[in-house]
Amino acid sequence: MSEEVKAKYIKGMPWGGIADNGKVVLFQLVYKDGSAEKFAFDSEVGQVLLGNLRGYAEEAAKTRASGTSKVAEGTAPYKVTNILRAGPSIDGTMVSVEFATTSGFPLALAMTLDQAKQTIELLQRSIQAAQKPKDSLS
């Protein structure tokens, strides 16, 4: 039995932009019933909104996955299409990587050198695990 949700169901976001020299973000939402509404917010609010929405989406994906550890299949809101650039910070304490994504906006990550090393090790283990031949059932 599914829960009844009393809210407008968002079907898509066909339009968006910025105003006031980047101080204001604008966008339009289209609802399941076909109606549409335009919204605006101060750009500083954007990070909070995106962070909260991403957190809720990750929580929903984890709930759907019911305990599986397949992170990329259930909780990856961004799929990389290209690596745009990478480099160290001016003081050499951080490195950053910028990716082009299927969402249309680039994703940039900055991390300490230790975090970068941990990421590389984790990716190497994940690549090795993905390349292992699957056991045959025959």
pLDDT at 1 > cutoff 50: no
Q: Where are the domains of the chain?
A: 8-69, 76-131
The per-residue pLDDT for range 83-133, each reduced to its tens digit, is 999 999 999 999 999 998 877 678 889 999 999 999 999 999 999 988 987
pLDDT in the model for residue 138: 45
Q: Note if the pTM is more than 0.75.
A: no
The per-residue pLDDT for range 47-84, each reduced to its tens digit, is 888 878 877 887 777 777 766 555 555 456 678 899 99
Of residues 69 and 1, which shows the higher confidence score?
69
Average pLDDT, the chain: 84
Using CA atoms, how far residue 84 sits from 9, 53, 79, 104, in Å, is 35, 25, 14, 13
Beta bridge partners of 98: 85, 108
pLDDT in the model for residue 136: 47
Residue 26: what residue type? Answer: L
CA distance linking residue 68 with residue 71, whole number of Å: 8
- What tokens does 76 get? 């990856």
pLDDT in the model for residue 134: 67
